[in-house]
Amino acid sequence: MGFTLEMARAIAGVSLNKGTRVIDPACGAGAFLLSGLDKGIGSPATIFGIDIDAKVRDEWELNGLAEDLGRNLYIQNGLYDPDDNRVSEKLPLRQFDLVVGNPPYGGFGVREVEKDKRLFNSLRTYELWRLGTRANDDQDSLFAVDVLERLRRLTPKEVERLERFPVEVLFLERFVRLAKAGGVIAIVIPDGILANVKFDYVRGWVAERCHVVAVVSLPRGTFRGTGTTAKTSILFLRKKGAKARGPKHVFMAQLDEGKDGGPPDKEEFDFVLKNFREKFKGYASGSPIIWTSTTTDDLWDNRWDADYWDPTFVEPVKLLKKRFGKIIPLKETDPFITYGAIITGRKPKLKDSGVFYIHIENFMPTGLDISLGNFISEKSDWNKDRARVKKGDVVIVRAGEGSLGKSEVYYLDFPATVGCFVDIFRQDVINPFFLALFLKSKYGQVQFRRLKSGVTGLTNVNFYEIKSIYVPLIPSKDIERIERAYKKILRKNDMIIRKKWSLAKKYYREGKNRLSADKMANEDAIIAKELGSLRSVFQDLLRKFELFLEGENKSFIP
């Protein structure tokens, strides 16, 4: 608590003092407010707390808050203003210097909105829950009902949406609204809001109104005492205004769990605070748990959770940028991306030849593998036009804990189609042989790990995420060499795989079942030896490729 207020003080500069107007609109026992009083950030006349639960009154009595702030504590819903002259006149709402708190999360927003007239009236003026509506969802109401009418009542669809809307997003909007221009907002928020693509619009809305100053990731054990282990962070914002200039860099930090998996130790908080005070102006990067993301611009259209900006993930990309000067996210290649057909309740009928049906198990380091039963017929429902692979497409595994991110350039002569866990990535800006090798290298793989990091814990990636992967643009003479060397391996792989496949077919004809026929072919001494030595040739190529990416070798030397 003290940490959060000290961070807020560092952000606001010296101006946080006894005159500071502070509010926590879901204050519970009031730990943040007590800490404010303790630190001289606000005073009994300027600190306000709201909580919906009447039971917290007892805690206010016990911890002395009732005595200190008595008249400024309200039992009511924190999503609307207290009906009290003191707040609305002497201390106009939406004019707070500091809005701080750990509002509720996890549950749905507000049940039975329509029964609570004040809540209903208040939420009508909120914006975020409307923005999240899927395009066209509300077309009818948007055009059929005139604007005033629309403000007066909500359509049943809107009420339903509000009731299912995450309460933490309503509170985030509430916090932003309560702050004055230049005011500081410190809010504990589930990482999902910071990391999930589906909350992009929430982050966009916040970033239009506030400068993002810092994100401090809290370990799961932080609120263990209250029975929750959700992954959360403290988001520090400064509301935009005439004088409030935003920082160029965003401060990101991860706090480690304390003893026995509990809240972080005091030293941990102090360490982050000290670094923040020192680096808030200087923006050096460095220590393992603290760093700054590149620039505020990086956060546009991107994740805000500190895990994503962990140096382990950011540094390799920075290194490539430094080395090659030009590095682009895959979206700039304007790609066509698709995955295979998903037909619920049915499975494709698998055959031993026909159209190669590419799925997760087919990806090997040296190229694509083929087993019996990896084919479907030309006319199969799974052989959809859009899912058909062309030679030169890059295919990427989009799912699976151990397999996500496996990639290959398609260089076989069979007609082929991707299954539902494999994406086709087709574009003509980047050489596909280079791209596939890059994705297989540690510089590609670290970026898949980055996508999987943090609370999203993705075991699958969507198109948007694949398009966020950065690839350097390298000289064409190196591209040519890479293509040549890599093609050699793919051709050789193709030869061995075909041999293995014929052998498996032979065993199958002789009466073995598919599984054992494949196994026997795989264990064939010559085939196993050839595949083994091809694997070391590939490892060697990959190592040279990485040395080249790192700048250890100026050009790519096969």
What residues make contact with ligand SAM under the rule CB under 6 A? 26-32, 50-53, 56, 77-79, 102-104
Tell me the C-alpha distance between 382 and 349, whole Å: 9
Tell me the C-alpha distance between 333 and 74, whole Å: 55
Tokens coding 542: 């990959």
> In sequence order, which residues have a C-beta less than 8 Å from that of residue 18 and are 6 or more positions away?
40, 41, 42, 43, 46
Q: Which of 496, 441, 511, 493 is nearest to 472 (CA)?
A: 441
Closest distance of CB 23 from ligand SAM, Å: 11
DSSP, collapsed to helix, strand or coil, labels residue 216 as strand
Closest distance of CB 276 from ligand SAM, Å: 21
Pick 100 or 469: Cβ nearer ligand SAM? 100
Calculate the dihedral angle through the C-alpha atoms of 528, 532, 538, 539, rounding to the nearest 10 degrees: 150
CA-to-CA dists, residue 267 to 110, 216, 264, 271, angstroms:
39, 15, 8, 6
Closest distance of CB 103 from ligand SAM, Å: 6
Closest distance of CB 160 from ligand SAM, Å: 19
> In sequence order, which residues have a C-beta less than 8 Å from that of residue 523 and are 6 or more positions away?
none
Q: Nearest 5°: phi and psi at 91? A: -130, 80
Tell me the C-alpha distance between 296 and 277, whole Å: 18
Pick 4 or 407: Cβ nearer ligand SAM? 4
Strands 232-239 and 336-339: unpaired
Strand partners, 292: 251
Closest distance of CB 218 from ligand SAM, Å: 12
Closest distance of CB 55 from ligand SAM, Å: 8
150 Rama class: left (phi>0) / alpha (psi -120 to 50) / beta: alpha
Pick 178 or 521: Cβ nearer ligand SAM? 178
Closest distance of CB 161 from ligand SAM, Å: 17
Pick 196 or 222: Cβ nearer ligand SAM? 222
Closest distance of CB 202 from ligand SAM, Å: 18
Pick 65 or 412: Cβ nearer ligand SAM? 65
Pick 161 or 452: Cβ nearer ligand SAM? 161
- Other CB atoms within a 10 A radius of the CB of residue 399 amount to 17
Residue nearest ligand SAM (C-beta atom): 28
Closest distance of CB 462 from ligand SAM, Å: 31
Pick 116 or 257: Cβ nearer ligand SAM? 116
Pick 57 or 505: Cβ nearer ligand SAM? 57
Pick 110 or 458: Cβ nearer ligand SAM? 110
Tell me the C-alpha distance between 290 and 475, whole Å: 35
Is residue 125 exposed (0-12), middle (13-18) or buried (19+ Cβ within 10 Å)?
A: exposed
